[in-house]
Each structure stands twice: as structure tokens, then as C-alpha cells.
């Protein structure tokens, strides 16, 4: 092998340096975007790994491509075999290790003593955050995760997870390199794909001891895709996942029920308004206390009085006695099935809000993932007693109570960290897939038209999530307030993950009436219109003054007009039976 090996793809060129510390350099449109150190390490058992020297590479030349293979060892593993494969469209980089241990973190181009050189100027992330940070400067931490950390840009619970891919840019807007993870969800015990803070570039997958190796282990490959812009690059990455069976194929929409596309009213916003109205200087009212039959009758009557006719009503947090069991609270909902039947007679559907992972009401010993001290961390979808309970509960909610589906929330509460073990050893993305699959399969076994709304905007869930929720409005500081761009960003991420998803456009918490009205004009363009308010907008952004603005007749008129325009483009739907 010469000192430098070159490869020219259709939209990129690469060179690989020789020696004991080889480096993979990638340019797009003449801009150098990546200088990935081939030497990589895998931390395990609470110990940091250090890469050793690598042998000269084996060079292979498959049809229309190039492959290089390096062999060596690390401080923790008896052998590591690294591969870089180049073809016309993309580069793939991954490795195989041999030894024993529980993986904490799998690094790409980094170890405990060194990192790859950072030659990009900006890093773009598909992970929505509370402060709307999308682009990260050199040295900043970035992550894509199944969970949420409130200390990271005010939290990132909106999509859990988005696609596992970052985009590296030069600062110019027409040259990007997408770095994405190739791995089937069922085989993926990692919880996050991270760019570490500090000098250089450190890419890694976080396992926290939940990936056991006894022999050989193959890392997920990183795929490197050139792109003119992050959004089409992300779409190309997601399409690659489907094409190569890393993600499920898109389900057919030919038989999708028409009522799924009807405008929705979710009562959570009004629950918050009522709670605020009942709060005092010494008592904080909980919005969950107002998920009651009486309140929802009032919400619906108020909408009807203004000529607002949602096709679907969502009964939000907390209609149930316990989050884990999903039995109606008899004090809040003495006649839940009767309320649902009454909405059916009005031509509406009703969804029940579910809180993912919460162990409230479950048997800790047989149905939960436990902390080391025995404290229940979450429901365990791999535990047969919990699976049986959930299937029975789903049947009761869909058949006996008559609901039409579910809005699944709080999926970011999935357990993470070193503590706890599921019965089947699944963790991270694999555990999330198990949970969603269990719920969706239970629904389909009872009713083919039951609707599941969730906020897992990843190709891995295209066949188990029916409608993707764009989730809560982010924090909007200053004036004028607008969150349209943030929701457009999320919609583009969701469309990349699954172009056929219906999108629940959400609109809570709108920071003021003006931004509520502005977003109203854009919801139908993004997806299914969703309404959280029936009386007023009440919210406080950070330390800014409280906003308390009553909805006016002109606002309801705008709602009626927007929904009528939206409905005029829908195909006729079947009557509620």
C-alpha cells in the first residue's frame, strides 16, 4: 500500500493514510469534512479502553469499490479488526472485537487517550431540544438518545429517538457528510449516539454495560453519506436503513382509516388552564387532577358552542387510577364508557392517553425492571406477566370501554444507565422497540383500525407507530413569539424517518395567542391539525410575565375556517360504528 490511498465516489472523494495510526479523510465538493482516526476502542466493565498499533491493512477491491481491513488489539480486547468499505455512494466503517466484557461505550475513531481530528466547522443534529439548538460548534457535546436529559439544552424528550445520524458541515451550505448508525433496532442495546465535548471529534455509542461479549462482537457500522443539505442526507440515510433491512419497510396506507386524519382536540391544555385558575399563592393545583369526566364534558361543550367539531378527542393525563394498570379512576370517570359512546354518537373518536414505562400499580418482582436496590424503575415489556397484563388492558380499553386507540407519551422515561436489567437482556433502542411492538401488536389483535400516536420519530418504528406526534412546543424567548420553524424542523425529521406517517401537529404550550394563531395557519400543511385549547392561552415562558389571553370569536372563526379547508382535501370517512 502506498503512503496515501485514494478513492473517488460519485459525490465525495476519500484518502486513507498509511502507518500505525492511519486516518480516513473525506471531502465533499472539495471541502474536507472528516478526518477519522481508524484506531478505535471499546470501553467495558467500568474501564476505559486504549487502542494499540495496527498492522498494515489488507486491501481488497470488490466490484466498483474498495475495502481496507486493519488488525490489532486494544488494552481491553484481545483482537480488533477494523473495516472501511468505499463504494460510489457511501463509506462504511466498523469493527469486530474478540474477548470478554460488558460494553460501556463503543468508540469510532477515538479512545481514552486520543480522538479524531475535527475538520468540520458545524455539526447538525436531528434531535429537537427545548431551546431549539440544531447546530453545534466544534467542541460542543451533541447526542441522539432514546431518553432525555434536562441539563442538555433544556431537555430532548420530543423525539425518542430521532434517526441516529449527525451531519458534518464546512460552514458552506452545499457540502455535508451524514454519519449514521447501521443497526436493526432488535439488535441495538445502545441508548445514545454521541459526539463528545472537547477538542477533536469523538463519536460513540453508549451501552452502559448492557451489551455482553463472550467471544466476538461486531459493532454497528457507521455509514458516511455525502449530501447537499442535512435534510435530504437524513432522508437518504433512512431510506438506506429500509433498503438493507435495518428498518422495517413502510406499511401500506391503502387501508388506513380515514378518521385517523381528522382534526383532534386534546384536553391537556385546558386541564392546565383549569389548574392555574384553581391555584393559589399557597397551593399549586395539578393539571392531572382535572382529567375528569365533568371537565371534559365542559371542554367539549365549549368547543361545540363555538362551532368547533374535532373528529377525535384525546383524554389526557391522568384519567386512570394508576399509570401501569390503566383502569379508569372511578372518582374522575364514573362513566367513561358512556362518555366515549356519546362522542361516537356525535361522529367522533376517542383516544386514551397512556404513560409509557411507569410502574405505578405493577407488581415490582414480576413485571418491572428493578434498580440494584430493588426499586422498580419501569415496566418490563420482556416480562411475560407484564406483557399479559398489557394485552388484557388493551382489550379492556378498546372493547369494554370502547376507546379507539391511544396517545402514548413519556417514552423518554425508558430506563437508562448501568443499573437494572430487562428479563430478556434488551436495553436502549431494542427495549424501546420491544415496548412499542408489544403495545401495537396487542392493539391490532383486538381492532384493526385502532390508532396509536407516539413520538418515536425513527425508521425503526414505522410499522408500530400509526401517527407521529411532533410533541410539545419548545421554549420561545423574546418577542414576537413563533414556533413555526421549530415544528417545521420536526416535521422534516419525521418525514425523513417515515414519509408515509400522519403527523400530529400538537400546539401546547403556545406561549401566547398570536403564536397560537400563526401556527394554526401552518398546521394543515405539516400534518393533522391538533388543538389543546377551548377557552384561553395561559403560559409563562421562563422568567417572562405570565400570559393570560382569552380566545376570541375571531380565533374560533379562524379555527373553523382552517379545519374546513383541511377537511375539504380529505377523502370521505366511514361513520363511527
470-486 pLDDT, tens digit each: 999 999 988 899 999 99
Mean pLDDT, residues 417-433: 96
**8 Å CB contact between 452 and 465:** yes
Beta pairing class for 58-60 and 42-44 = unpaired
The answer to whether 258 touches 449, Cβ cutoff 8 Å, is no
User: What are the DSSP calls for 447-516, one per residue?
Assistant: -TT-EEEE---SGGGTTT-SEEE--SPPP--SSS---HHHHHHHHHHHHHH-TT-EEE---TT-SSHHHH
Q: Which CATH class is domain 4-243?
A: mainly beta
Banded model confidence at residue 577, pLDDT cuts 50, 70, 90: very low
pLDDT band at 279 (very low <50, low <70, confident <90, very high): confident
Domain spans, the chain: 4-243, 261-567
pLDDT in tens, 246-260: 999 999 998 899 999
Phi-psi sector, 245: left (phi>0), alpha (psi -120 to 50), beta: left
**8 Å CB contact between 189 and 207:** yes
pLDDT for position 283? 62
Nearest by Cα to 296 from 361, 350, 245: 350
Runs of H (alpha helix) within 129-287? 230-243, 268-278
Q: Is the model's pLDDT at 171 over the cut of 70?
A: yes
Mean pLDDT along residues 321-330: 98
Q: How far apart are CA 364 and CA 575, in angstroms?
A: 43
pLDDT at 576: 47
Closest CA to 220 of 246, 243, 248, 249: 246
Q: What is the pLDDT of residue 284?
A: 67
Write phi, then psi, for 106 (nearest 5 degrees): -105, 115
Q: What is the pLDDT of residue 574?
A: 44
| Residues contacting residue 28 through CB under 8 Å, at least 6 positions apart | 11, 12, 170, 175, 176, 177, 226, 227
DSSP 317: T
pLDDT in the model for residue 575: 43
Task: Give me the pLDDT at residue 503, please.
Answer: 98
Tell me what pLDDT residue 572 has.
57
> What pLDDT does residue 1 have?
47
Distance CA 159, CA 470 (A): 8
- How high is the pLDDT of residue 408? 98
Going by C-alpha positions, the residue among 273, 351, 181 that lies closest to residue 538 is 273
DSSP result, 326-390: --B-TTT-TTHHHHHHHHHHTT-EEEEEEETT--TTS-HHHHEEE-TTS-EEEE-TTSHHHHHHH
- Please state, rounded to an integer, the average pLDDT across all residues of the chain: 95
Q: Which CATH superfamily is domain 261-567 in?
A: Glycosidases (3.20.20.80)
Query: What cell does 491 get?
Result: 416535521
Q: Which residues does 406 contact at the CB level (< 8 Å), separation at least 6?
A: 351, 352, 353, 354, 397, 439, 443, 450, 451, 452, 453
Helix (H, G, I), strand (E, B) or coil at 527: coil
Crossing angle, helix 268-278 and helix 293-305, to 10 degrees? Answer: 110
Q: Is the pLDDT of residue 349 over 50?
A: yes
Between 21 and 320, the more confident residue is 320
Q: How does pLDDT run across 67-126, given as a tens digit for each residue?
A: 999 999 999 999 999 999 999 999 999 999 999 999 999 999 999 999 999 999 999 999
Q: Which helix (H) or strand (E) is 324 found in, with range?
A: none
How does DSSP classify residue 159?
S
Q: Is 262 exposed, middle or buried (0-12, 13-18, 19+ CB in 10 A)?
A: buried
pLDDT of residue 382 exceeding 90? yes
Check residue 285 and give its pLDDT. Answer: 78
Mean pLDDT for the stretch of residues 192-209 = 97
Q: Does the structure show a pLDDT above 80 at 281?
A: no
How far apart CA 9 and CA 177 sit, in angstroms, is 13
What pLDDT was estimated at residue 540? 86
Cell numbers at residue 150, please?
A: 434536562
Of the pLDDT bands very low, low, confident and very high (cuts 50, 70, 90), residue 140 is very high
pLDDT score for 541: 85
Cα 60 to Cα 93: distance, rounded to the nearest angstrom = 15
Q: How confident is the model at residue 415 (pLDDT cuts 50, 70, 90)?
A: very high
Report which of residues 283 and 173 the model is more confident about.
173
Mean pLDDT, residues 132-142 taken together: 95
pTM for the model stands at: 0.96
Average pLDDT over residues 371-400: 97
306 CB contacts (<8 Å, ≥6 apart)?
553, 556, 559, 560
CA-closest candidate to residue 314, choices 287, 296, 288:
296
Q: Tell me the C-alpha to C-alpha distance, in Å, between residue 573 and each of 507, 529, 576.
A: 25, 17, 9
Q: What is the pLDDT of residue 64?
A: 81
Amino acid at each position: 500500500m502506498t503512503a496515501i490511498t485514494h478513492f473517488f465516489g460519485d459525490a465525495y472523494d476519500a484518502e486513507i493514510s498509511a502507518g500505525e495510526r492511519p486516518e480516513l479523510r473525506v471531502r465533499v465538493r472539495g471541502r474536507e469534512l472528516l478526518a477519522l482516526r481508524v484506531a478505535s476502542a471499546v470501553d467495558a466493565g467500568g474501564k476505559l479502553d486504549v487502542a494499540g498499533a495496527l498492522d498494515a491493512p489488507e486491501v481488497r477491491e470488490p466490484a466498483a469499490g474498495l475495502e481496507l481491513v486493519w488488525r490489532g488489539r486494544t488494552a481491553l480486547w484481545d483482537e480488533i479488526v477494523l473495516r472501511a468499505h468505499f463504494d460510489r455512494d457511501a463509506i462504511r466503517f466498523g469493527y469486530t472485537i474478540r474477548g470478554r466484557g460488558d460494553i460501556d461505550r463503543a468508540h469510532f475513531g477515538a479512545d481514552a487517550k486520543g480522538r479524531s481530528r475535527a475538520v468540520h466547522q458545524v455539526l447538525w443534529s436531528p434531535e429537537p431540544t427545548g431551546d431549539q439548538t440544531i447546530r453545534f460548534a466544534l467542541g460542543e457535546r451533541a447526542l441522539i438518545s432514546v431518553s432525555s436529559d434536562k441539563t442538555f439544552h433544556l431537555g430532548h424528550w420530543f423525539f425518542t429517538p430521532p434517526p441516529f445520524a449527525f451531519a458534518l458541515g464546512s460552514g458552506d451550505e452545499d457540502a455535508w457528510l451524514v454519519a449514521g448508525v447501521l443497526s436493526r433496532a432488535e439488535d441495538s442495546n445502545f441508548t445514545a449516539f454521541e459526539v463528545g465535548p472537547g477538542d477533536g471529534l469523538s463519536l460513540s455509542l453508549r451501552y452502559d454495560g448492557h451489551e455482553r461479549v463472550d467471544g466476538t462482537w461486531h459493532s454497528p457500522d457507521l455509514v458516511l453519506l455525502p449530501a447537499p443539505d442535512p435534510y435530504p442526507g437524513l432522508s437518504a440515510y433512512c431510506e438506506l436503513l429500509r433498503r438493507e433491512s435495518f428498518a422495517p419497510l413502510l406499511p401500506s396506507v391503502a387501508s388506513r382509516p380515514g378518521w385517523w386524519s381528522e382534526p383532534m382536540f386534546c384536553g391537556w391544555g385546558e386541564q392546565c388552564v383549569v389548574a392555574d385558575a384553581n391555584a393559589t399563592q399557597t397551593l399549586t393545583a395539578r393539571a392531572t387532577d382535572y382529567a375528569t369526566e365533568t371537565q371534559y364534558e365542559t371542554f367539549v361543550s365549549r368547543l361545540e358552542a363555538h362551532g368547533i367539531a374535532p373528529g377525535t378527542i384525546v383524554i389526557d393525563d391522568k384519567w386512570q387510577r394508576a399509570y401501569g394498570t390503566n383502569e379508569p379512576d372511578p372518582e374522575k370517570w364514573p362513566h367513561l364508557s358512556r362518555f366515549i359512546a356519546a362522542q361516537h354518537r356525535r361522529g367522533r373518536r376517542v383516544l386514551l392517553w397512556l404513560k409509557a414505562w411507569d410502574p405505578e400499580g405493577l407488581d415490582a418482582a414480576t413485571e418491572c425492571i428493578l434498580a440494584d436496590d430493588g426499586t422498580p424503575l419501569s415496566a418490563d415489556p420482556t416480562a411475560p406477566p407484564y406483557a399479559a397484563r398489557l394485552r388484557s388492558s388493551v382489550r379492556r380499553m378498546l372493547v369494554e370501554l370502547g376507546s379507539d386507540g391511544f396517545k402514548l407519551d413519556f417514552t423518554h422515561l425508558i430506563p437508562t444507565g448501568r443499573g437494572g436489567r430487562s428479563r430478556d437482556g434488551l436495553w436502549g433502542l431494542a427495549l424501546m422497540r420491544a415496548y412499542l411492538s408489544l403495545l401495537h401488536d396487542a392493539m391490532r389483535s383486538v381492532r384493526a383500525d385502532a390508532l396509536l400516536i407516539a413520538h418515536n420519530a425513527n425508521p425503526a418504528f414505522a410499522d408500530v407507530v400509526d401517527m407521529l406526534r411532533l410533541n410539545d412546543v419548545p421554549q420561545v424567548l423574546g418577542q414576537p413569539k413563533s414556533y413555526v420553524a421549530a415544528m417545521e424542523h420536526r416535521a422534516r425529521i419525521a418525514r425523513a424517518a417515515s414519509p408515509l406517517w400522519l403527523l400530529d401537529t400538537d400546539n401546547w404550550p403556545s406561549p401566547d395567542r398570536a403564536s397560537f394563531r400563526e401556527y394554526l395557519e401552518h398546521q394543515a400543511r405539516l400534518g393533522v391539525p391538533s388543538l389543546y385549547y377551548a377557552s384561553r392561552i395561559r403560559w409563562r415562558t421562563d422568567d417572562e410575565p405570565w400570559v393570560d389571553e382569552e380566545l376570541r370569536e375571531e380565533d374560533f372563526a379562524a379555527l373553523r375556517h382552517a379545519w374546513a379547508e383541511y377537511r375539504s382535501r380529505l377523502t370521505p370517512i366511514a361513520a363511527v360504528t
